[in-house]
Amino acid sequence: MRGFLTVLVSVALLSTQALAGSSVRYALIVGNNHGCTSPSVVLPDLRHAENEARLLKHKLVQLGNFDDSGDRVVLLLGKSREDVLLAAGRMARRHRRDREMLGDVPTLFAFFFTGHGLEGKLLTAADPLTALDLASIFKDMNATFTVGVFDACFSGNLDLDSLRLKGLRTTLGFNAFEELPQEVLNSKGTMWFTSSRPDQVSYEDDRLGGVFTHFFIEALEHAEPDRFGVTLDEIWEYARSRTQKYTSRAGRPQTPQKMIRNLTSTGPLYFSFPTARSAALVFGPGVEGRFLARYESGQLTELVDKKRGTRMRVAMYPGEVLLERLSSGGRERQYVTLAPGSTVRVQGGAGWTDAEGLGSRETALVAKGGKLEGLVLTEKTSSLSGLLELTYQAAFGPTYGAVSSHNGGVGVRIDYGLIHARLMFLYGRASADYPAWGYDLDRADLRIEAGPAFNLGDFRLSVAVGGSLFSREVTYRDGSPRSRDGFGVGIGAALLYPLIRRPLGLYVGLRAGLTAERAHPVAPMDAKESWEAIPWAGAGLALEIF
CA atoms within 13 A on the CB side of 478: 4
Asked if residues 308 and 288 have their Cβ atoms less than 8 Å apart, the reply is yes
pLDDT score, position 8: 34
Q: What is the pLDDT of residue 265?
A: 46
Nearest by Cα to 30 from 71, 73, 77 = 77
- Residue 188's pLDDT band, with cuts at 50, 70 and 90, is low
Q: Can you tell me the distance from the alpha carbon of 358 to that of 505, in angstroms, rounded to the nearest whole number?
A: 10
Whether 155 and 2 have beta carbons less than 8 Å apart is answered as yes
> Which amino acid type is present at position 226?
D
Asked whether residue 50 carries a pLDDT value surpassing 60, the answer given is yes
Looking from the CA of 3 toward its CB, the CA atoms found within 13 Å total: 26
* Residue 166: per-residue pLDDT: 25
pLDDT for position 122: 81
At 36 the pLDDT is 85
The residues of the chain that CATH labels 2.60.40 are 279-382
In CATH, the number for domain 4-272 is 3.40.50.1460
Write down the pLDDT at residue 474: 84
Angle (CA) 424 430 434, round 5°: 160
Q: Work out whether strand 145-150 and strand 108-109 pair parallel, antiparallel, or are unpaired.
A: parallel
Query: In the structure, what pLDDT confidence band is assigned to residue 360 with cuts at 50, 70 and 90?
Result: confident
How is the beta sheet containing 300-306 ordered, strand by strand? 22-23, 300-306, 289-295, 319-327, 330-338
Which range, 424-438, 456-470, 475-489, is most confident?
456-470
Q: What is the pLDDT of residue 16?
A: 31
DSSP structure class, residue 54: H
pLDDT above 50 (res 15): no
Q: Is residue 172 scored above 70 in pLDDT?
A: no
Interval 132-168: pLDDT, tens: 888 888 889 888 787 777 776 544 333 333 333 222 3
193 C-beta neighbours (distance < 10 Å), count: 25
Q: What is the 3-state secondary structure (H, E, C) of 370-423?
A: CCCCCEEEEEEEECEEEEEEEEEEEECCCCCCCCCCEEEEEEEEEEECCEEEEE
Q: Is the dihedral of CA 278, 364, 289, 311 positive or negative?
A: positive
What's the rounded mean pLDDT across residues 287-310? 83
Q: Are 318 and 230 in contact (CB under 8 A)?
A: no
Within 13 Å of residue 347, how many CA atoms lie on the same side as its CB? 19
CATH 3.40.50.1460 domain span(s) along the chain: 4-272
102-116, 220-234, 252-266, 501-515 — which is least confidently predicted? 252-266
Name the average pLDDT for the chain: 81
Task: Give the whole-angstrom CA distance, residue 495 versus residue 458.
Answer: 10
Instruction: Name which of 143-157, 344-358, 452-466 the model is least confident about.
Output: 143-157
Nearest one of 201, 160, 188 to 1, comparing CA atoms: 201
Half-sphere exposure in the Cβ direction for 20 (13 Å, CA): 18
d(C-alpha 81, C-alpha 456), whole Å: 57
The verdict on domain 279-382 having CATH code 2.60.40 is yes
Asked whether the beta carbons of 114 and 123 are under 8 A apart, the reply is no
Amino acid 398: pLDDT:
67
Query: What type of residue is 464?
Result: A
| Whole-Å CA distances, 22 to 93, 121, 294, 395 | 21, 36, 12, 53
Looking at the chain, the domain(s) classified CATH 2.40.160.20 span 384-544
Give how far Cα 34 sits from Cα of 29, 54, 172, 280, 449, Å. Answer: 16, 16, 17, 46, 69
- pLDDT in the model for residue 174: 58
Per the model's pLDDT, the better-predicted residue between 209 and 525 turns out to be 209
384-544 placed in CATH 2.40.160.20: yes
